């Protein structure tokens, strides 16, 4: 059965950095409303918002203190309702970021849990006595550095936090916790949101025996603390799938809603999150391209492995950048960013675009004094500084890049006066217009939406594949011009799009230029 996300591309908005309407240097919901036409004109089908719930902002919204309230930094519920209505009015879906693994330590649930050992909500979080030695209960490490256990002097126990100490993990083995969180989902679904991206969903269940994690034999001193041990007992537990099935049942009780899971796992483990009976998340986020060397052979092998591993009925998806990882333009350069766009938007499955990638925003340069990311501050020089990929959207060459009326909460990139939406809208060959052309083509060609994928043989450093029977794609992942050698069986009728030109070509060129990609119409019937 075809679902709307089989045909739509998703667009991630980091609200703090998209558009400031109030002049305080921080993006907000009203600002997103102002820029919805840009998103709609781009040609995507859905908007995913990083967290907007009430939060002390220890981790910029991933520490929620009220799951049913909008943080005043972003607006209020009336503004959210307007945003939802205006998004739907443009034919777009709206997805929210759901953060259920942990709350803020200022959430009333945790304040009650912390108040005494016999409080009814004590078991809503993960509390343990000290080890016989008097230290933490086990060797589990925080993703943000140091032990994942925080001593609580008044109650004489440790509580577990996979991230900051201000982000205590909820106990998802507790039925009351699961019921409360499912009620949160229903609250937003009743409002009309179209689905959720669930933060660190593979973390929800921990080993019931709290066994030590085994040492990581590949750990090196220049790696973050979390890499010291293999996360065998602190994440990706077999019991998590039953919990996810409960969440999926809530989603399925509403028509046409989407459930996405954030999951950083190898392909074979990732596939289990579709669920044994198609009762897992609809889309276990596929971050493999983020972590893959940018070479035709490596990417081709990865795609083949991923496609072969998909369970029956499992729908693929692809991601190149997000708020936690280096931007694609920073990783591969501006020229190859065009190839990356063509790759992302022609693979089989649902693509997710990260705001600003459509104009080639790269990572920002920052001094140590400017760093706000708590992970990078806790482990300087070791953890990736996530601030670098969260810089404000660059709308124009006007003051403050058209993002705000004052200095923004994070610096702009050095080239913002040249690299912005206004400048690229006026340039037919820009990266922005290439994205628009790719998304128009994807919308017009059924083979690019739901057609089968088949990688075909091509010369070295060229990634070539076919979508359905009618579309061929050839991508040059190098800065070298090479003779164009078509794969066997390809009879080209038309060059639908060139990555370098940003438009169709009148004839098939004899050479495949440096950093060039071609989308070709082939002789055949739709597949």
Could you read off the pLDDT of 120-151 as tens digits, one per residue? 999 999 999 999 999 999 999 999 999 999 99
Could you read off the pLDDT of 146-176 as tens digits, one per residue? 999 999 999 999 999 999 999 999 999 999 9
- Strands 462-467, 471-476: pairing is antiparallel
Six token digits for residue 124: 């809503």
End-to-end Cα spacing for the chain: 16
Structural domains in the chain, sorted by start: 4-103+172-433 (3.20.20.80), 108-160 (3.90.400.10), 452-522 (2.60.40.1180)
pLDDT at position 460 over 90: no
Q: How confident is the model at residue 527 (pLDDT cuts 50, 70, 90)?
A: very low
Question: Which pLDDT value is given to residue 466?
Answer: 98
Which residues, other chains included, contact 73 with Cβ-Cβ below 8 Å and sequence gap of 6+? 16, 26, 28, 57
Q: Which residue reads 């009976």 in tokens? A: 277
pLDDT at position 332 over 90: yes
Instruction: From residue 155, give the alpha-carbon distance in Å to each of 106, 113, 120, 122, 158.
Output: 17, 10, 14, 11, 9
What is the rounded distance in angstroms from the CA atom of residue 461 to the CA atom of residue 379? 37
Could you read off the pLDDT of 348-363 as tens digits, one per residue? 999 999 999 999 999 8
pLDDT at position 518 over 90: yes
Show which residues are catalytic.
199, 262
132 burial class (0-12, 13-18, 19+ CB within 10 angstroms)? exposed
Asked if 455 and 464 touch (Cβ cutoff 8 Å), the reply is yes
Six token digits for residue 392: 């404000």
pLDDT at position 526 over 70: no
pLDDT at position 6 over 70: yes
Could you read off the pLDDT of 220-272 as tens digits, one per residue? 999 999 999 999 999 999 999 999 999 999 999 999 999 999 999 999 999 99
Six token digits for residue 228: 């010291």
Question: Which pLDDT value is given to residue 164?
Answer: 98
Could you read off the pLDDT of 388-407 as tens digits, one per residue? 999 999 999 999 999 999 99
Question: Which pLDDT value is given to residue 365?
Answer: 87
What is the rounded distance in angstroms from the CA atom of residue 466 to the CA atom of residue 178? 44
What is the rounded distance in angstroms from the CA atom of residue 7 to the CA atom of residue 44? 9
Predicted model pTM: 0.97
Residue burial 244-274, b: 16+ Cβ < 10 Å; e: rest: bbebbebbeeeeebbbbbbbbbeeeebbbbb
Q: How confident is the model at residue 458 (pLDDT cuts 50, 70, 90)?
A: confident
Question: Which pLDDT value is given to residue 409?
Answer: 97
Question: Which pLDDT value is given to residue 2?
Answer: 82
């Amino acid at each position: 059965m075809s679902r709307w996300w089989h045909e739509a591309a998703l667009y991630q908005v980091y609200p703090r950095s998209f558009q400031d309407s109030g002049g305080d240097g921080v993006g907000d919901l009203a600002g997103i409303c102002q820029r919805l036409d840009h998103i709609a004109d781009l040609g995507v089908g859905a908007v995913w918002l990083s967290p907007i719930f009430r939060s002390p902002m220890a981790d910029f919204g991933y520490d929620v203190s009220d799951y049913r309230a909008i943080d005043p930094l972003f607006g209020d519920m009336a503004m959210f309702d307007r945003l939802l209505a205006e998004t739907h009015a443009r034919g777009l879906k709206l997805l929210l970021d759901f953060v259920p693994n942990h709350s803020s330590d200022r959430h009333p649930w945790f304040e009650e849990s912390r108040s005494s050992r016999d409080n009814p909500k004590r078991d809503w979080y993960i509390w343990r006595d000290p080890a016989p030695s008097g230290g933490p209960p086990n060797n589990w490490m925080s993703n943000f550095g140091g032990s994942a256990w925080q001593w609580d002097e008044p109650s004489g126990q440790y509580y577990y936090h996979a991230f900051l100490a201000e982000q205590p993990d909820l106990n998802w083995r507790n039925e009351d916790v699961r019921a409360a969180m499912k009620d949160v989902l229903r609250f937003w679904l009743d409002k009309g949101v179209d689905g959720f991206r669930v933060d660190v969903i593979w973390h929800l269940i921990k080993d019931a025996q709290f066994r030590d994690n085994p040492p990581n034999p590949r750990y090196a001193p220049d790696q973050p603390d979390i890499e010291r041990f293999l996360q065998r007992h602190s994440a990706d537990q077999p019991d998590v799938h039953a919990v996810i099935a409960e969440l999926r049942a809530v989603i399925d009780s509403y028509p046409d809603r989407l459930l996405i899971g954030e999951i950083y796992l190898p392909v074979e483990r990732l596939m289990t999150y579709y669920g044994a009976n198609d009762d897992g998340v609809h889309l276990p986020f596929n971050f493999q391209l983020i972590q893959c060397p940018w070479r035709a052979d490596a990417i081709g092998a990865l795609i083949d492995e991923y496609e072969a591993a998909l369970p029956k009925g499992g729908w693929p998806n692809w991601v190149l950048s997000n708020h936690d990882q280096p931007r694609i333009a920073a990783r591969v350069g501006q020229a190859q960013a065009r190839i990356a766009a063509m790759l992302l938007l022609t693979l089989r499955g649902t693509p997710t675009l990260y705001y600003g990638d459509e104009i080639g925003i790269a990572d920002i340069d920052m001094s140590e004094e400017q760093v706000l990311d708590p992970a990078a501050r806790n482990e300087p020089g070791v953890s990736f500084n996530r601030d670098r990929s969260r810089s404000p959207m660059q709308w124009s060459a006007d003051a403050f890049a058209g993002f705000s009326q004052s200095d923004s909460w994070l610096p702009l990139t050095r080239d913002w006066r040249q690299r912005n939406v206004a400048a690229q809208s006026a340039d037919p060959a820009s990266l922005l217009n290439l994205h628009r052309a790719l998304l128009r083509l994807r919308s017009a060609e059924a083979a690019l939406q739901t057609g089968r994928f088949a990688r075909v043989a091509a010369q070295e450093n060229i990634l070539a594949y076919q979508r359905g029977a009618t579309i061929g794609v050839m991508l040059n992942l190098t800065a070298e011009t090479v003779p164009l050698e078509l794969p066997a069986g390809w009879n080209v009728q038309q060059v639908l799009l060139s990555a370098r030109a940003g438009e169709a070509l009148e004839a098939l060129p004899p050479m495949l230029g440096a950093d060039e990609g071609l989308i070709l119409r082939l002789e055949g019937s739709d597949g």
